[in-house]
Amino acid sequence: MSDMPLTDNLTERQQALLILLVREHIATSESVSSGLLAQKTDLRISSATIRNEMAVLEEKGYIRSLHTSSGRVPTEEGYRFFVKYLIEHEEDLQPVGNLKLQIADNPLELDSWMQMAAMMLSQETQVAAIVTEPRLLAPNRFKQMQVISVQGRMVLMVLVLTSGHVHQQMLIMAEPVTQAVLSQACEHINRYAYDKDSHGLYELARTQTSVLARELCMLAADALQQMDDWNSKIAYQTGFSELLPYLEEQGVKQALKILEGEAPLNEIMSDLVHEKAGTVRVIIAGEGRWESLSNLSMVLGRYGTRQFVGAVGVMGPTRMPYGKAIPAVSHVAHLISKMLDKIHDNEDASQTEVDNDTDEVIQGLLE
């Protein structure tokens, strides 16, 4: 560790002992004594010297004593120092072992692939794994709409986005409207609304003198805004039962809230979304920011393409095997990004055909 820089006024020897202590505690879950460190370290120093160094580490808040033992365990700051060290010294990260996943060729395989990825990630790290649904990164933009009269006041709104996505929604109008009048209003909106996001559609609606055109424009804007609302829904999770022996009651409750969507995953994702694909973020005990994560650690990786973004990660006690978790999460995030890129390229190649098919579908509904 001769190349280890001085950090937080810790000497190289203190840093080496702290890293060794954290490794031992993660591996055994037991408090670590000066005698054990003396046996494990390559440093040629006595147990008495180690005890003195541990006293300094405890004074600076990196380790703490347990009343039931003479040994020491890491504090949150100790774990954070350890994670920082791992990230700066990639050679000390453990290689990914069993995560040999094949890239899917089409979106029909996406669900089963992500479920398998979560399961293998949990097996690799021995903690719970989660994968969120991919969400559109940029705001949805309007391409065209058509409203088809179904029966009486009931109509079907068909909204086509510039991404190629087609949104259909049944609506009840204030009063019956003929198909000819509906088509005329849609033709007018299509002329002025192309490539607008929800905010642009709301602005356009306010300028409409026709009550029907204003109402339809508002309905299209509402639909786009609803699709834009960021909601990091956990699509796949596995391994929760593996956590139960390692968490206190409060930690179990916090983990359940995350899986039920009540914890601040959306807020965390809103930060991650601005990072580049493959970025891994380690959150230890809520980092003083999220009290609802105070008994947990999370390792989250951002996956994504030019259009879609999501998160894959693991969740467990603060005594998590970070050396395994960080490279495993990074690896799976990279694979999901590659797969989405491949799917996106296939969709781009057939976009013209999709556009033609969409036009034919709308025309068929009108006939």
DSSP string, 297-334: EEEEEEEE-SSEEEEEEEEE-SS--HHHHHHHHHHHHH
Mean pLDDT value across residues 83-98: 76
Looking at residue 6, its pLDDT comes to: 46
Looking at residue 2, its pLDDT comes to: 47
Looking at residue 4, its pLDDT comes to: 54
Looking at residue 230, its pLDDT comes to: 61
> How many of the other CB atoms lie within 10 Å of CB of 8?
12
Over 60: is that where the pLDDT of 120 sits? yes
Looking at residue 204, its pLDDT comes to: 96
Mean pLDDT value across residues 9-14: 91
Looking at residue 215, its pLDDT comes to: 94
Q: Of 62-76, 101-115, 249-263, 328-342, which range is least confident?
A: 101-115
Residue 354's pLDDT band (cuts 50, 70, 90): very low
Q: Which residues contact 327 (CB under 8 A, 6 or more apart)?
A: 93, 94, 95, 96
Over 90: is that where the pLDDT of 61 sits? yes
- pLDDT tens, position by position, 244-268: 777 877 888 888 888 776 667 777 8
Looking at residue 275, its pLDDT comes to: 77
Over 60: is that where the pLDDT of 360 sits? no
Looking at residue 219, its pLDDT comes to: 94
Q: How far apart are the first and last CA of the chain?
A: 76
> Within the chain, how many helices (H) and strands (E) appear?
13, 11
Tokens describing residue 61: 């808040």
Angle between helices 211-228 and 179-193 (to 10 degrees): 60
- pLDDT tens, position by position, 192-227: 999 999 999 999 999 999 999 999 999 999 999 888
Mean pLDDT value across residues 50-58: 95
pTM equals 0.71
Q: Which domains are present in the chain?
A: 12-90 (1.10.10.10), 93-133+232-349 (3.30.450.40), 142-229 (3.30.390)
Over 70: is that where the pLDDT of 359 sits? no
Looking at residue 42, its pLDDT comes to: 87
Looking at residue 248, its pLDDT comes to: 78
Tokens describing residue 217: 């424009």
Per DSSP, 232 falls in state: -
- pLDDT tens, position by position, 306-344: 777 888 999 999 999 999 999 999 988 888 888 887 776
pLDDT, mean over the chain:
83
Looking at residue 195, its pLDDT comes to: 94
> How many of the other CB atoms lie within 10 Å of CB of 347?
15
Over 90: is that where the pLDDT of 356 sits? no
Asked if 103 and 288 touch (Cβ cutoff 8 Å), the reply is no
Q: Of 25-34, 40-49, 65-74, 105-114, which range is least confident?
A: 105-114
Q: Of 177-181, 209-213, 288-292, 359-363, which range is least confident?
A: 359-363
Over 90: is that where the pLDDT of 37 sits? yes
Over 60: is that where the pLDDT of 350 sits? no
